Structure 1
Amino acid sequence: MSGTHELAHDRALLSRTSTAERVADILRTRIAEGFFPPGTRLSEDGIGGALGVSRNTLREAFRLLTHERLLVHRLNRGVFVRVLSVADVTDIYRTRRLVECAVVAGLGEPPYALDGLAGAVEEGRRAARAGEWAAVSTANIHFHRELVALAGSARTDELMRSVLAELRLAFHIVDDAQGLHEPYLVRNQEILDALRAGERPTAERLLARYLDDSRARLVEAYARAVVGGAETDEKAREG
């Protein structure tokens, strides 16, 4: 009887965790979309009421997203969307280069399943024609998720989902979305063309150069934005 009671307890925990994971998925998407910008305090009452979930479920979702480095808990203040440091942004790109280039290097013989990559390239073009630069950013993220998906590894997909979600926190700080993302529409196409031609070493070389250039541009822009924002906050406090 005792064992049955323990299983019933485990089932309740499983149900709650499953709900928490679904809540975490919703919040992760909203954070990625900029609905909750970096530095935003997340209200347990407001979010829990809007989603119709218990405080315990919401706290478990917060815990999951804190583990993914999207949220941070500040003692006696609450839970906030994380603000990355410049070192964080650099480290994200270091991880991306290791993973994405390894995926391309490890591809077998062509042809490759490139429909997802092609769809992301076209998605980016449509958004650029409409001047929707946040959507261009999203399409670019989709391109790199599809690239990593070529490995056929659920673990790698999960890692990149977390890394790219964290990267979006940096994009939300930097205002120059067009300047950051427009140059890479052409470069995404070049990588796709190389893979279509079965030229895997060329695609790997293009990707490595792409990531190095993207890191340099974003780190420079992010550093300016973070320093400028800190100076503005300091002047406001002094005033």
Structure 2
Amino acid sequence: MTVAGGVEWPTGAKSGLERPPSTAELVAETLRRRIIDGSLKPGARLSEREIFTDLGVARNTLREAFLLLIHERLLVRRPHHGVSVAKPTVDDVIDLYRIRRVLELSAIRGAVTAPPGAVDAVGAAVRDGEEAARAADWQALGTANMLFHEAIAGLTGSRRVVETMRQLLAEMRLMFHVMAAPREYHEPYLVLNREIHRLLCAGEVELATQRLSDYLDTAERQLVDAFIALETATD
């Protein structure tokens, strides 16, 4: 394993990559995970000094990682303001759900040929969500929900699909901050996650696909409505 900033990333033949990830890519993954778990919030300015001290990497490496995340629309750089976490818009929500449908619904439909342990990983994310709910840790529940969707991508057996989904989910975390009541937003999806996992275990792929399609429609509508209400309130 290659480890940087608390992130473990397999290298060599087992990773499915043609080359090991660079240090800048590992740093980018660390920051991406901090966005996913809610540690880095929309609009937060990033201090080069604090991050390179924390992770023990050179400034040039950190700046390369910033460029990777700017390309992924997770960070933005503004003249005289430095680098900060991006603030998504309602158009970003709509576009992101377009690509999520392509990736996740395809992954569910192909679940009958999922690699060993892939469906179990979906169940593990459900159990993480249940544990977070019992602890009334709604931010952790949101993180577990995103890991559920990352595990859905894992049904494809494709490292590249999982990495793409991870990038999309980091954008999703930035969108979740618009929801004023995280418990009311995240908790109902735990029930749906559990149901989808049950259907996958039973081999009912078509029904699981329909459940997930309805799920994504509802989630998109909730976020779009929240963004519109926020934009109206600030006009």
TM-score by length of 1: 0.83
Residue of structure 2 equivalent to 1:20: 24
* CA gap 1:110/1:90 in 2 versus in 1, 3 angstroms: closer
Aligned partner (choices 157, 165, 176) of residue 171 of structure 1: 176
Aligned partner (choices 180, 185, 208) of residue 190 of structure 2: 185
Aligned partner (choices 47, 68, 77) of residue 43 of structure 1: 47
Alpha-carbon separation, structure 1, partners of 2:87 and 2:105 = 27
Residue of structure 2 equivalent to 1:5: none
Q: Deviations over 1:86-143 (max 9, x none)?
A: 1101111111111111111233369974211111111111111111111111111111
The amino acid that maps onto 2:133 is: A
Q: Tell me whether 1:54 sits opposite 2:19 in the alignment.
A: no
Alpha-carbon separation, structure 1, partners of 2:142 and 2:94 = 18
Residue of structure 2 equivalent to 1:75: 79
Residue of structure 2 equivalent to 1:94: 98
Structure 1 residue matching 2:177: 3-state secondary structure? helix
Structure with more of its chain in helix, by fraction? 1
Alpha-carbon separation, structure 2, partners of 1:206 and 1:51 = 41
Q: Percent identity?
A: 48
Size of the aligned set, in residue pairs, is 214
Q: Tell me whether 1:140 sits opposite 2:145 in the alignment.
A: yes
Indicate conservation of the 8 Å contact 2:105/2:213, yes or no.
yes
Alpha-carbon separation, structure 1, partners of 2:220 and 2:61 = 36
| Structure 1: unaligned runs, 5 residues or longer | 1-16, 232-239
Indicate conservation of the 8 Å contact 2:110/2:155, yes or no.
no
Structure 2 residue matching 1:72: 3-state secondary structure? strand
Alpha-carbon separation, structure 2, partners of 1:133 and 1:81 = 22
The amino acid that maps onto 2:97 is: Y
Alpha-carbon separation, structure 2, partners of 1:110 and 1:31 = 28
The amino acid that maps onto 2:192 is: R
Please report how far the alpha carbon of residue 83 of structure 1 lies from its aligned counterpart in structure 2 after TM superposition.
0.1
Structure 2 residue matching 1:30: 3-state secondary structure? helix
Please report how far the alpha carbon of residue 48 of structure 1 lies from its aligned counterpart in structure 2 after TM superposition.
2.2
| Structure 2: unaligned runs, 5 residues or longer | 1-20
Q: Deviations over 1:16-56 (max 9, x none)?
A: x8221222122112222222211111122232233332221
Aligned CA-pair RMSD: 2.0
Larger radius of gyration: 1
Indicate conservation of the 8 Å contact 2:126/2:144, yes or no.
yes
* CA gap 1:150/1:110 in 2 versus in 1, 3 angstroms: closer
Q: Tell me whether 1:108 sits opposite 2:121 in the alignment.
A: no
